[in-house]
């Protein structure tokens, strides 16, 4: 039976589209402060993440300041999600700046689709909408959340503009079909939901990160394109894409996976370092040696 979180989401989905963004983002900052103060487990993880990214020399006060901003960004992203169904094409095109799009079109010219990888960085919902407006067909596997009614509701919000989402624990044949049709298979590169990825150095410490994007590119021959987003101070968004990466053709499968993972992780580190407070991961990714 749906619990209080489900009904809170439904209430937010009904009210948020009628709230002016300036007021909504201000309310998010207030809620973010409460979230930071009272969700101690998530706060501890976020502060540990920031410490690992920024190093031991950064003062504790700066870590706490950035952690508070991380919670603000989590709420900003939820605000954007709830208002997504009511947003129109013109509004999205005005607030999203896309750089490096030619890297995407160049990769598509290979006629094998694209395996696209990113991180939980900046905004994703509005930026995906902007990509859909440019003609991409995108399929993304996502983590199930409980209760099922909440999963269905959030999934429907995210798919309201044409995005295709599939459960990550279901058959992934949909990803192969998307690639065969010249579409985009999108997989996160910074959180290993299935616990089947690789243990690799990440900001100087071993972390378990997913490798599904790399293995899918190896299996299909599709180019691997990394793209990231960033929320700017005025709540507009910058999305940028890097040149396509093709995994090495020689060596054992695991050697090829390792080399490709090294490339992906370095790019993710570079992106996160630019705005670490916008990396909205609240679960541990690092493991003991």
Which structure tokens are listed for 46?
Answer: 């976020």
Give the residue-averaged pLDDT of 259-281.
97
pLDDT value of position 124: 87
Residue 207, beta-bridge partner list: 200, 286
pLDDT at 3: 85
Predicted confidence at residue 2, as pLDDT, reads: 84
Would you place residue 32 in the very low, low, confident or very high pLDDT band (cuts 50, 70, 90)? very high
Torsion of CA 97, 102, 104, 106, to 10 degrees: 170
Question: Residue 238, SS3?
Answer: strand
Name which of 108, 107, 113 is nearest 220 in CA terms. Answer: 113
Nearest to 187 by CA among 145, 137, 142: 142
Tokens of 202: 């990440």
**Distance separating alpha carbons of residues 222 and 182, to the nearest angstrom:** 10
Task: Give 61-67's long-range contacts (Cβ < 8 A, gap of 24+).
Answer: 66/276, 66/277, 67/36, 67/43, 67/277
59 phi, psi to nearest 5 deg: -60, 145
- Which pLDDT score, from 0 to 100, does residue 170 have? 79
Tens of pLDDT, residues 18-27: 999 999 999 9
Task: Please report the pLDDT score of residue 33 as a whole number.
Answer: 96
Mean pLDDT of the chain: 95
Whether 60 shows a pLDDT value over 90: the answer reads yes
Residue 78 scores a pLDDT above 60: yes
Q: What was the pLDDT predicted at 200?
A: 96
CA distance 106 to 260: 20
* pLDDT at residue 289 greater than cutoff 50: no
CA atoms within 13 A on the CB side of 283: 8
| Percent of the chain's residues with pLDDT above 90 | 91
Map tokens 């894409």 to a residue.
Answer: 241
List the domain boundaries for the chain. Answer: 4-278
Residue 80 tokens, joined: 């954007």
Q: Tell me the average pLDDT across 160-185.
A: 92
Output the pLDDT for position 169.
84
Q: Work out the average pLDDT over 50-57.
A: 96
Q: What is the pLDDT of residue 41?
A: 95
At 75, the pLDDT band (50, 70, 90 cuts) reads very high
User: Pairing state of beta strands 205-209 and 198-202?
Assistant: antiparallel
Q: Work out the pLDDT band at 123, boundaries 50, 70, 90.
A: confident
d(CA 139, CA 131): 12
Helix (H) or strand (E) holding 66: helix 60-83
Retrieve residue 59's tokens: 């003062």
> What is the CA angle 159-165-169, rounded to 5?
150
- Of 205 and 289, the structure prediction assigns the larger pLDDT to 205
pLDDT greater than 60 at residue 148? yes
- Asked whether the predicted pLDDT for residue 185 surpasses 60, the reply is yes
Closest listed residue to residue 277, CA positions, set 40, 58, 69:
69
The closest of 124, 110, 129 to 225, measured between CA atoms, is 110
Tens digits of residue pLDDT in 186-205 = 999 999 988 899 999 999 99
């Amino acid at each position: 039976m749906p619990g209080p979180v489900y009904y809170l989401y439904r209430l937010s989905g009904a009210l948020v589209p009628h709230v002016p963004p300036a007021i909504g983002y201000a309310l998010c900052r207030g809620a973010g402060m409460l979230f930071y103060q009272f969700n101690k487990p998530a706060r501890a993880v976020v502060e540990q993440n920031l410490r690992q990214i920024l190093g031991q020399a950064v003062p504790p006060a700066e870590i706490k300041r950035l952690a508070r901003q991380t919670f603000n960004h989590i709420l900003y992203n939820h605000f954007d999600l709830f208002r997504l169904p009511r947003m129109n094409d013109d509004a999205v095109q005005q607030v999203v700046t896309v750089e490096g799009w030619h890297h995407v079109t160049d990769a598509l010219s290979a006629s094998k689709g694209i395996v696209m990888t990113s991180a939980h960085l900046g905004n994703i919902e509005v930026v995906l909408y902007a990509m859909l407006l440019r003609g991409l067909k995108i399929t993304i596997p996502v983590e199930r959340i409980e209760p099922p009614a909440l999963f269905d509701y959030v999934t429907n919000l995210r798919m309201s503009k044409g995005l295709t989402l599939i459960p990550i624990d279901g058959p992934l044949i949909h990803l192969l079909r998307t690639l065969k049709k010249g579409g985009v298979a999108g997989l996160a590169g910074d959180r290993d939901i299935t616990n089947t990825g690789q243990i690799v150095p990440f900001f100087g410490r071993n972390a378990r990160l997913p490798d599904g994007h790399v293995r899918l590119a190896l299996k299909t021959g599709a180019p691997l394109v990394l793209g990231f987003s960033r929320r700017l101070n005025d709540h507009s968004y910058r999305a940028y894409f890097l040149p396509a990466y093709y995994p090495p053709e020689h060596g054992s499968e695991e050697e090829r996976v390792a080399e490709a993972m090294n490339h992906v992780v370095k790019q993710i580190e570079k992106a996160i370092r630019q705005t670490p407070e916008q990396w909205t991961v609240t679960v541990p990714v690092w493991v003991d040696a």
